[in-house]
Amino acid sequence: MNAKRIGVLGCSVIAKPGHMAALRHVAGIGLHAVGDVSWQRALSPETKFRMTHASPAEQAFRKLDIDAVVICTPAQFHLANVPQATRHGKHVLCEKSLAMDEADFALMIRAMDEAGLVLFTRSLL
């Protein structure tokens, strides 16, 4: 079975010690790419986690050959990031807080449903 290629968008506080470190230990998952508006933050985990791709531009990140994206950007950007992932056919695991309000949450759910994709968020446990 081929490993699912995962991209992480946002390479700050929660991404490196949390999501990126954990993804390395999940069978059938390959941490393939990172994206961040800061080129320096994008390059740091690329080297540490031996990934194939790092990108400072969201458009370039979205076009990478990944199966799903873990969104670790600040919460106020999730409303833009989640629908953007659907336009590129990517399943999403979005860091919490998922949305800034209930209306934004409903828009994200609708975008994912219409695209036939899955949206997850990390639980408190």
Domain ranges in the chain are 4-121
Give the pTM: 0.86
Q: Which fold has domain 4-121?
A: Rossmann fold (3.40.50)
DSSP 3-state of 85:
helix
Question: Is residue 63 pLDDT above 60, yes or no?
Answer: yes
DSSP state of 2: P
| pLDDT, tens digit, 9 for 90 and up, residues 71-100 | 999 999 999 999 989 999 999 999 988 899
E-only strand ranges, 12-103? 29-35, 53-55, 68-71, 91-94
**Among all chains, which residue has been given the structure tokens 């639980």?**
123
**Residue 38 is encoded by which pair of tokens?**
């800061």
